[in-house]
Amino acid sequence: MSTTDPARRAAELRALLQHHAHRYHVLDAPEIPDAEYDRLFQELQSIEVAYPELLAPDSPTQRVLGQVLPGLSPVRHAVSMLSIRTETDTTAAGAEAFDARVRRELALPADAPPVEYAAELKFDGLAINLRYEQGVLVQAATRGDGETGEDVTHNIRTIGQIPLRLLGDAPAMLEVRGEVYMRRDDFERLNERQRQQGLKTYINPRNTAAGAVRQLDNRSLADKKLSFFAYGLGEVRGWVQPSTHSATLDAMAAFGMPVCADRAVVQGAAGLVAFHREMGAKRDALPFDIDGVVYKVNAVALQQRLGFVTREPRWAVAHKYPAQEQTTRLNGIEIQVGRTGKLTPVAKLEPVFVGGTTVSNATLHNLFELRRKGVRVGDTVIVRRAGDVIPEVVARVPGPRPAYVPNFRMPRACPVCGSAVLREKGGIDHRCSGGLFCAAQRKQALLHFAGRRAMDIEGLGDKLVDQLVDGGLIRTLPELYKLGVAKLSALERMADRSAANLVAALEKSKHTTLARFLYALGIRHVGEATAKDLVRHFGGIDRIMDASVAQLLEVNDVGPVVAQSIRSFFDQPHHREVVEQLRAAGITWPEHEGEADTAPKPLAGRTLVLTGTLPTLGRDDAKALIEAAGGKVAGSVSKKTDWVVAGAEAGSKLDKARELGIPVLDEAGLHALLGAAAASDGDTAP
């Protein structure tokens, strides 16, 4: 509750900020986004400036926020790890105000040359102090309250970017300060794994990194890939620091420390404004989160002249960008059907400015994550948008609901085509069973059907499929074969020659194999190898379409999930109709393929992995030879792999094979294996 009494409001704000700081810094479980915390902090600052008598020693404005986590050993910092002032005016005026303060403190006349600054990024992670003695990492500690942090050496040693020994002629003692963070792609991969396993997802990269670093058991870091950037120094002995901050960063890089390349030495306010604008434009393309940039007076001598005010250096400031997390109201939940048939609940939000744009829609991923987050219509929620990641609802802001709101339920029928909505046993995603019939999946179905390993229709790519579907020329797969030169030539950027080439490619694609045709239908879980196994086992398309789940389970490598997927696909009358229409359009395959394959399979039950480039065999050719001999080609090396076939520029798969002691063959060795296997099979045949 707010109040007009400054004393009561200041006390209220102090209590709120202390509560949220504890949630953020100690529990790594924030209840409000950073932008809301900053707003409360600034409100308290403004009251204390207007009413100095209300400034309390325990005010959050008077200390570096943080606390030692119980269970971790405290570390007293030899040189305090202080915070820097934050400039929340995200316009050019924020940079200009900092430059004006610096010039005023240095008593520079109006006609004095511009001040030189080191400009760098403000990483959104956890501040860490690394202590090196005689070049060897002996301790790593968090910022804590600025005076005392937590010993997290056991966890920091697991971060590959942090050297355990410095390069070159290292000082007797050097403390390197920097930020542990998590890249966006690593964060997204982690959350996707969590979703697939039905586990709790993480709110943002910053808190995930902070929570991981401060675990007592570093085994929890196994699934969390962390990174590090150095940006400053603590205690130093036996080394003369360079005369500028930028040169200090160069020296740290020479010692083997990772230093961000997105930094610059600039002149005056104009240089600061230009850097802020340039990094703001680049922000979405960065592989990690930043919430601003940092300006530091470059000359160390000038830094010493400027000194500190309270607990903040006068010679540095953080200049923020629009927050990547904000709170807003969830007005409704709608279902979006994706190109592969996945149903995704989408939050319809009260529009909110976050991450540099106005957001009114955000993903809720799936029903189970929605339930875990406890989100319901009418709630106040935290919305996150970082980089080019789709905006998402990451949490509900705690608090009572004014009235009962029922849990959201997934529809039983696809909102696009009306087909049944299915969820695989043990799976988390709901999917439309309409497949080839569903308009939402039409483009994906066409692109898959035309793919090189499916019907191989050269010239039918993304842009053309967009034109065909959006223009209403194609609604089903069989309609592809009704396209003529006249219709195609009428499309934008489609010349007569290109149209004629596509028509020829369509005609050529009619002569295929049954395995390719089956794969081209896009049946979930049916890849090229499974399609070939189905054809070998059943011999014809009609027998495959009519096979029961029990009969499908008799096929090599077909388990319950795959069998049910095939049965569900052909249980849809419109899918059977598409197959019949495609056959009527003239699609054929060799007659011999309509018979079960009874040829000898000398490599049956054996698994091979291909890596690198072979001298004469393409990957598809090598795969075909192995599969013709009954072998299976896997994508990764494991203890179940029998041989690895390696060519030029073989990568980690070759290393893994050597590590596991798996035999490695070159192309000649593969031919020899196939020949020996065939001969052996012939010798033992009755």
Q: In the CATH scheme, what is the code of domain 325-396?
A: 2.40.50.140
pLDDT in the model for residue 544:
96
Which of 279, 365, 361, 369 has its CA nearest to residue 328?
A: 361
Domain range annotation of the chain: 6-62, 85-320, 325-396, 435-594, 607-684
Which of 594, 609, 616, 621 has its CA nearest to residue 664?
A: 609
pLDDT in the model for residue 192:
86
Mean pLDDT of all residues in 297-323: 91
Higher pLDDT, residue 591 or 277: 277
Residue 278: CB atoms within 10 Å = 14
Q: pLDDT tens across 501-534, in order? A: 999 999 999 999 999 999 999 998 999 989 999 9
Q: pLDDT tens across 177-232, in order? A: 999 999 988 998 898 888 888 788 887 888 889 888 887 766 667 678 899 999 99
- Name the band, by pLDDT with cuts 50, 70 and 90, for residue 62: low
Under 8 Å CB-to-CB from 679, ≥6 apart: which residues? none
3-state secondary structure of 112: coil
User: What span, in angstroms and rounded, lies between the C-alpha atoms of 234 and 81?
Assistant: 8
Q: In the CATH scheme, what is the code of domain 85-320?
A: 3.30.470.30
Highest-pLDDT range among 152-156, 433-437, 566-570: 566-570
Under 8 Å CB-to-CB from 634, ≥6 apart: which residues? 607, 608, 609, 640, 641
Q: Which two tokens stand for residue 34?
A: 């950073």
pLDDT in the model for residue 66:
47
- What angle in degrees, to the nearest 10, is found between the helix axes of 34-50 and 6-21? 150
Which of 588, 569, 210 has its CA nearest to residue 422?
A: 569
Highest-pLDDT range among 40-44, 197-201, 270-274, 383-387: 270-274
Residue pointed to by tokens 């080439």: 501
Q: pLDDT tens across 554-596, in order? A: 998 799 989 999 999 999 898 999 999 999 999 999 876 555 5
- Name the band, by pLDDT with cuts 50, 70 and 90, for residue 265: very high
Asked if the model's pLDDT at residue 26 lies above 80, the reply is no
| 478-487: Cβ within 8 A, 24+ apart | 478/578, 478/581, 478/582, 478/584, 478/585, 480/446, 480/449, 480/450, 480/506, 481/506, 481/510, 481/582, 481/585, 481/586, 481/587, 482/585
DSSP H helix total and E strand total for the chain: 23, 24
Higher pLDDT, residue 248 or 5: 248
Q: Which two tokens stand for residue 607?
A: 């698994």
Under 8 Å CB-to-CB from 650, ≥6 apart: which residues? 611, 612
Residue 410: CB atoms within 10 Å = 13
Antiparallel, parallel or unpaired: β 227-237 and 74-76: unpaired
Q: Which two tokens stand for residue 596?
A: 């079960």
pLDDT in the model for residue 686:
33
User: What span, in angstroms and rounded, lies between the C-alpha atoms of 489 and 179?
Assistant: 57
Asked if the model's pLDDT at residue 108 lies above 80, the reply is yes
How much of the chain is in helix, strand and coil states, percent to nearest 5?
Answer: 40, 20, 40
Give domain 6-62's CATH number out of 1.10.3210.10, 1.10.287.610, 1.10.540.10, 1.20.1440.230.
1.10.287.610
Asked if the model's pLDDT at residue 439 lies above 50, the reply is yes
- Catalytic amino acids? 122
607-684 fold: Rossmann fold (3.40.50)
* Length in residues, the chain: 686
Q: Which two tokens stand for residue 372?
A: 């875990």
3-state secondary structure of 139: strand
Phi, psi (deg, nearest 5) at residue 152: -125, 30
Could you tell me where the DSSP H helices lie in 261-309?
268-282, 300-306
Question: What is the DSSP secondary-structure string of 528-582?
Answer: HHHHHHHHHHH-SHHHHHH--HHHHTTSTT--HHHHHHHHHHHHSHHHHHHHHHH
- Name the band, by pLDDT with cuts 50, 70 and 90, for residue 684: very low
Of 59-73, 323-337, 388-402, least confident by mean pLDDT is 59-73
pLDDT in the model for residue 22:
66
Q: pLDDT tens across 327-368, in order? A: 999 999 999 998 889 999 999 999 998 877 889 999 999 999
The residues facing 216 across adjacent strands are: none
3-state secondary structure of 334: strand
Q: Which two tokens stand for residue 672?
A: 């020899």
Residue pointed to by tokens 């509560």: 19
pLDDT in the model for residue 88:
72
User: What span, in angstroms and rounded, lies between the C-alpha atoms of 346 and 357?
Assistant: 18
* CATH topology agreement for domains 6-62 and 85-320: no
Contact in structure between 391 and 354 (CB atoms under 8 Å): yes
Q: Where are the beta strands (DSSP E) in 100-237?
A: 116-123, 126-133, 136-142, 148-150, 173-181, 227-237
Q: Where are the beta strands (DSSP E) in 424-485?
A: 430-432
Q: In the CATH scheme, what is the code of domain 435-594?
A: 1.10.150.20
pLDDT in the model for residue 600:
67
